[in-house]
Amino acid sequence: MNIVLRLAWRNLWRHSKRTWLTIGAMVFSNVLLVFMISIQFGMYGLMIDNTLQVFTGHMQIQAPGYKDDQKMRQTVPDIVPLASKLREAFQTDTIAARGWAFGLASSEERSYGIGIFGVEPTFEPHVSSIPGLIKDGRYLRDNDATEIVLGAVLARNLRVTTGDELTLLGSGRDGSFAAAVLVVVGIFESGVADIDRNFAEMPLQSFQDIFYMDGAGHQVVISATTLDEAELLRPGIVAALPLDSDLVVHDWDTLLPGLKQAIQADMGSAFFMYGILVILVAFSVLNTQLMSVLERTHEFGIVMSLGLKPGRLGRLVMLETAMMGLIGFVLGAIAGALFTSWFTVNGLSIPGMEEMAANFNLPARVYPQVTPWTMVAGPLVVFLFTLLAALYPALRLHRLHPVEAMRAN
Amino acid sequence: MRLLPVLVRLAWRYLWRNHRRTIIMLSAISVGVWAMIFMTALTRGMVDQMIKDGVSVLPGHVQVHHPLFLDDPSVSNRITIGDAELARAFDTAGFKAWASRVKVPAVIASERESRGVTLLGIDPAAEREFSFVSYDDVEGRFLEGADDNGIVIGRELASKLETEVGKRVVLMSQDPENEIADRGFRVVGLFKANMPAFEESYVFIGKQAAQKMLRIGDTTTEIVFLADDYRNIEPTFKQVSARVDSSLEVSRWYEVDTYLGTMLKVMDGFVLIWVIVIFLALSFGLVNTLVMAVFERVREIGLMLALGMKPASILGQIIIESMLLLAVGLAIGDLLAWATIQPLQGGIDISAVAEGMEMMGASSVLYPKLYLSDMIRANVVVLILGFLASLSPAWRASRYEPVEAITKVG
C-alpha cells in the first residue's frame, strides 16, 4: 500500500471514537436521505401515473384556449375521424376522442349538476381507468346508444341504479337548450369522492347529437406507456394534425399544472430539509478535521521543517477526510437501502394520511422502491460536502510556520 | 449545592479554552435550531392559512345539518326549523357569530355557458365575519340584505360564463318535490377570493331569494357558528349541542372537512419528527465535542479527583458544559429564527407553484407563523435530548481512576 494512503489510514484511527462519531453522523443522514428520497420519488411517479390515468392521459389535442376556459364552442372539428387517423398512423389503440359538457341530471327524486364526458366506448378503456372501475352493470357499448355510466356517489345521491332513467339538461354548443333522457347502464367507483360524486360518461355520438356538436368534440386523449415515451410521441402527433387547423397539443403538465407544481412545492421543502441535514454533517466533519489538524500542529511542524511541503500535508488531510467520507458513504448507502427495503416489503403507512393521500390519488400504504439512483444521490452529496468542509483545515496548513508549529504544545 | 456556581464557571471557561471547536459546534447548533423553528413556522403558517381559507371562513367552526345532508346535499335534507325559531334559540345565547344559510348544489347558465356551482343563500349582515369574501373588495357591489334580488359570483366564473355585472344568469336547482326550481338573476357583483377554485365554485344570492326560488318557506340547510379559535371549539360545540334537538347533526369543522382535519394532525406530528431528526443529526457532533473535551483534560480530571473532588461534581461539570453549549446555541438559533421570520410576516409569494398549493388546499402566499409554544417545544426537546446525550461521556469522565488519569500521556 502506498505510504501516504497508509499514513492517512492510521491517522484516521488515532481517535477511533471521534472518527466513528463523525462517520455516525454521515450514516445517520445518509440513511434518512436514501429513505426519504426513495419514498419521495416513488410517490411522485405514483401520483403522476394514478392521476393521469383517470381522465387526463399524457397528452391532449384541444382547441386553443379550451384548456383554460373549457367553453362548449372551443371545439376540435371532426374529432372522431381525427382520432382514428392518429390511431392508424401510430398503430396504437391508446388514443380516444372526447366531448365534455356540463348539465343538470335529474332522476325522479333528485337533481344534481354534473360534468359529463362523451367518449368512444371502444377506445376509452385504453386511455382511462374509469371503464375498468365499473362495479355495477356494464360500461358503455354502442357509440349511438342513449346510455350513461355514473360515479357511485352520484348514483346514490340521485337515488338511481342500473336500468333507471335520467333526464339531462344543459346548453348545446350554440348556446341552445339541450335535453335528453338516458338509461343508466353502469356505475363506477374510483374511490376518489370528487370523481365519484361529479362525473358521468356517455357515448360520444349521442353526446354530439344532444349538444349539437356537429361532429366536433373537445379533446383527443393520448396515452403512452411511460412519461418518456409520451415525450417521444409528441413531435409525431403535432406533425399529424391537419395543416389548416389551429389545434394545439398539451402535455400532462400543462393540462394539470397543479400536479407538477404540487410536486415542485413538495420538492422545495424536501430539499430544504435535506440541505439542513447535509450542512449539519459538514459542520461535524469540519469540527473533527480541524481538531485533528490542530492537535498535530507540533508534528506537522517537524515534518515541514524536514522539507515536507504544506500542500502535501493538506492533501493528506483531504485524503483522511475522503477515507472517512467513503466509509460513511458505503455504510450509509447500504444501511439506507436495507432500511428502505424493509418498507418495500412491508409497506409504510402514516396514520391519518389516507385522506391526504387520496387527495393526490395515492394509496394509503406506500411501498418505497430503492433504485441505484435514490441509493446513491443523497450519500454522494453528503460526501461532497464532507470534502468541502475539510478544505478549511487543509488549507490552513499553508499558514503554518515550521518553527512556531514545533513550539506548539 | 454551594459547588454549583463554581462548576458553572469552570464549565464556561473550559468551553472557551478551545474556542474554535466551541464556535463550530455553536454554529451547528444554531443552524439546526434555526432550521427547526423556521420550518415549523412555515408549516404552521401554511396550515393556519389553509384552515382560515377553507374552514373558519366559509363553513364555520361548528355546523348543524340534517343528518343526511353532508352525504346528500339536497334541499330535501334541509333543517326544518324556520329562521324565526332559530333566532329565538341562538340570538341571546352569546355566540361569537352564527348564521343560517341555504347551501345547495346548482347549475348556473349564461346565454353561452353553463357550470355547476354551490349556491349560497345568505344574510350578508350575519355572515360578514365568516365570509371568505371581503364585501368591500367586490367589483360592482355585494348583496345588501337577505332580500336582495341580485347574484354575486366569482371573477373566474364570470369569465368562464362570459358574463359581467349587469347581465343576467339563470340558476337551476331542485325544490323539495324535485321539481326543477329555476330563476333568473341579475349579476350585481364579482367577488375575489384567495383561491381561484372558490371563485369558480360559489355563488351568493340573498337568503330570502333562495328560499323563495327553492320553495322552502323560511327554512335553511345549514347553521354555522364561529368559535374564538379553530383549535378551541369544544365550548361552542357543547353549547350548540345543548340547544338543538337530536334530529339534527352537530359537527366540528374537522369532521366536515376531514382533509383539513387530518392535515392539521399530520403537520403536528411532522413538526415534532423534524425537531427530533435535526437533533439527532446534531447529537453526533455534540457527543463528539464532549468526548474530545474530556479526552483533552484527562489529567486535570485525574488531578481534581485526586484532590478530593467528588465524581458527581465531575459528572455535573461535563453536563453543565454541554447544557451551556446548547443553551448558547439555542439562544442564537432562536434569535436567528425570529430575525428571519419577522421580515417575512407580510407573506412569502410562492405563486410560481400556486396551482400546486391549491391542490393541497393552500393559497399562494405563505405567512410564516412563529408560535411561542413551538419555539419552547423545540428548545425543551433539544435540552432534554442534549442532557441524555451528554450522560455517557460525562459518566465516563467521572469514573476515571485518579492515578491512571494523571499518568496518562495525552
By CB atoms closer than 10 A (0-12, 13-18, 19+), residue B94 is exposed
Confidence of residue A83 (pLDDT cuts 50, 70, 90): very high
- Nearest C-alpha of chain B: how many angstroms from A73? 9
Residue with cell 430503492: A370
pLDDT tops 90 at residue A282: yes
Partnered with residue A113 across adjacent β-strands are: A104
CB contact under 8 A, B284 and A21: yes
Per-residue pLDDT tens over the stretch A85-143:
999 988 899 999 999 999 889 998 888 889 999 999 999 999 999 999 999 999 999 98
CB contact under 8 A, A171 and B114: yes
Rounded-to-integer distance, Cα A29 and Cα A26, Å: 5
Rounded-to-integer distance, Cα B23 and Cα B292, Å: 15
Q: What is the overall mean pLDDT for chain B?
A: 86
Per-residue pLDDT tens over the stretch B215-272:
998 899 999 888 877 778 888 888 888 888 888 899 888 888 777 777 777 788 888 8
Rounded-to-integer distance, Cα B392 and Cα B153, Å: 66
User: How many whole angstroms from its chain centre is CA B213?
Assistant: 38
Compute how many other C-beta atoms are within 10 angstroms of the C-beta atom of residue A263: 21
CB contact under 8 A, A287 and B25: yes
- Nearest C-alpha of chain A: how many angstroms from B309? 27
CB contact under 8 A, B295 and A15: yes
Exposure string for A96-125, b = 16+ CB within 10 A, e = fewer:
bbbbbbbbbbbbeebbbbbbbbbbbbebbb
Please check whether residue B409 touches A, CB under 8 A. Answer: no
Exposure string for A41-50, b = 16+ CB within 10 A, e = fewer:
bbbbebbbee
CB < 8 Å from A in window 337-356 of B: 350, 352-356
- Nearest C-alpha of chain B: how many angstroms from A306? 24
CB < 8 Å from A in window 71-100 of B: 71-74, 76
Confidence of residue B128 (pLDDT cuts 50, 70, 90): confident
CB-CB neighbors (< 8 A) of B27 in chain A: 283
- Angle (CA) B398-B402-B404 rounded to 5° is 110
SS3 per residue for A191-251: CCHHHHHHEEEEEHHHHHHHCCCCCCECEEEECCCCHHHHHHHHHHHHHHCCCCCCCEEEE
Indicate the SS3 state at residue B72.
Answer: coil
pLDDT at res. A1: 60
For residue A280, give the nearest of B20, B281, B295 by CB distance.
Answer: B281
Rounded-to-integer distance, Cα A157 and Cα A155, Å: 5
For residue B355, give the nearest of A22, A198, A261 by CB distance.
Answer: A261
pLDDT tops 60 at residue B410: no
Compute how many other C-beta atoms are within 10 angstroms of the C-beta atom of residue A129: 15
Calculate helix-pair angle for B311-341, B372-398, nearest 10 degrees: 150
Percent of chain B at pLDDT > 90 equals: 30
**Alpha helices, DSSP H, located in A73-203:** 79-90, 124-127, 152-158, 193-198
pLDDT at res. B54: 66
**Alpha helices, DSSP H, located in A91-203:** 124-127, 152-158, 193-198
pLDDT at res. B59: 62
CB-CB neighbors (< 8 A) of A110 in chain B: 72, 74, 76, 174, 178
Per-residue pLDDT tens over the stretch B43-89:
888 888 777 776 645 567 888 999 988 888 888 889 988 888 888 88
For residue A355, give the nearest of B72, B116, B259 by CB distance.
Answer: B259
Nearest CA in chain B to A288: B288
CB-CB neighbors (< 8 A) of B116 in chain A: 102, 113-115, 198
Please check whether residue B25 touches A, CB under 8 A. Answer: yes
Please check whether residue B289 touches A, CB under 8 A. Answer: yes
- Nearest C-alpha of chain B: how many angstroms from A76? 17
User: DSSP character for B54?
Assistant: I
CB contact under 8 A, B359 and A72: no
Rounded-to-integer distance, Cα A190 and Cα A53, Å: 11
Rounded-to-integer distance, Cα A326 and Cα A349, Å: 33
Per-residue pLDDT tens over the stretch A152-186:
999 998 999 999 999 998 888 888 888 999 999 99
- Nearest C-alpha of chain B: how many angstroms from A296? 12
Residue type, B50: M
CB-CB neighbors (< 8 A) of B280 in chain A: 28
CB contact under 8 A, A104 and B284: no
Q: Where are the domains of chain A?
A: 3-51+259-407, 59-223
Q: Read off the pLDDT of each residue in A225-253 and give the average, rounded to a whole number.
A: 87
Q: Read off the pLDDT of each residue in A253-282 and give the average, rounded to a whole number.
A: 89
- pTM of whole model > 0.90? no
Nearest CA in chain A to B285: A284
Best CA proximity match to A276, nearest among A29, A38, A41: A29
Please check whether residue A234 touches B, CB under 8 A. Answer: no
Q: Read off the pLDDT of each residue in A375-400 and give the average, rounded to a whole number.
A: 92
Q: Where are the domains of chain B?
A: 3-54+261-407, 60-253
CB-CB neighbors (< 8 A) of B357 in chain A: 261-262, 265
CB contact under 8 A, B112 and A283: no
Nearest CA in chain B to A21: B284
CB < 8 Å from A in window 263-282 of B: 263, 265-266, 269, 274, 277-278, 280-282
Largest CA distance in chain A: 101
Please check whether residue B15 touches A, CB under 8 A. Answer: no
Please check whether residue A155 touches B, CB under 8 A. Answer: no
Compute how many other C-beta atoms are within 10 angstroms of the C-beta atom of residue B279: 23
Distances, alpha carbon A182 to alpha carbons A141, A200, B177, in Å: 14, 11, 21
- Residue B21 sits at φ, ψ, to 5 deg, of -60, -45
Instruction: Output Rg (C-alpha) for chain B, integer angstroms.
Output: 31
Grid coordinates representing B243 are: 340547544
Q: Which of B30, B288, B340 to mutate to test the interface with A (most CBs of A within 10 A)?
A: B288
Q: Read off the pLDDT of each residue in B380-403 and give the average, rounded to a whole number.
A: 90
For residue B27, give the nearest of A169, A258, A283 by CB distance.
Answer: A283
Please check whether residue B172 touches A, CB under 8 A. Answer: yes
With beta carbons less than 8 A apart as the criterion, state whether B70 and B103 touch: no
pLDDT at res. A353: 65
Residue pairs spanning A and B at CB distance below 8 A: 192
Residue type, A99: G
- Nearest C-alpha of chain B: how many angstroms from A93? 31
pLDDT at res. B362: 72
ipTM of predicted complex: 0.79
Pairing relationship of beta strands A111-119 and A199-203 according to DSSP bridges: parallel
For residue B356, give the nearest of A102, A263, A350 by CB distance.
Answer: A263
Nearest CA in chain B to A175: B112
For residue B356, give the nearest of A111, A261, A353 by CB distance.
Answer: A261
CB contact under 8 A, A70 and B287: no
Best CA proximity match to A292, nearest among A303, A300, A280: A300
Grid coordinates representing B355 are: 396551482
Rounded-to-integer distance, Cα B299 and Cα A362, Å: 60
Partnered with residue A250 across adjacent β-strands are: A60
Residue type, A371: T
Rounded-to-integer distance, Cα A318 and Cα B366, Å: 42
Best CA proximity match to A284, nearest among A11, A28, A31: A28
- Nearest C-alpha of chain B: how many angstroms from A261? 4
- Angle (CA) B8-B9-B13 rounded to 5° is 115
Best CA proximity match to B124, nearest among B243, B11, B204: B204
Per-residue pLDDT tens over the stretch B260-307:
777 777 788 888 888 899 999 999 988 988 888 888 888 888 888 888
Please report which helix (H) or strand (E) contains residue B208, including its range: helix B207-214
Please check whether residue B179 touches A, CB under 8 A. Answer: no
Does the CA dihedral B166-B172-B173-B179 come out positive or negative?
positive
CB contact under 8 A, A350 and B266: yes
**Alpha helices, DSSP H, located in A256-371:** 257-294, 297-305, 310-346, 354-359
pLDDT tops 70 at residue B105: yes
- Nearest C-alpha of chain B: how many angstroms from A383? 15
- Nearest C-alpha of chain A: how many angstroms from B144? 28
CB-CB neighbors (< 8 A) of A352 in chain B: 262, 265-266
Distances, alpha carbon A260 to alpha carbons A41, A51, A368, B40, in Å: 13, 11, 20, 24
Please check whether residue B70 touches A, CB under 8 A. Answer: no
With beta carbons less than 8 A apart as the criterion, state whether A148 and A199 touch: no
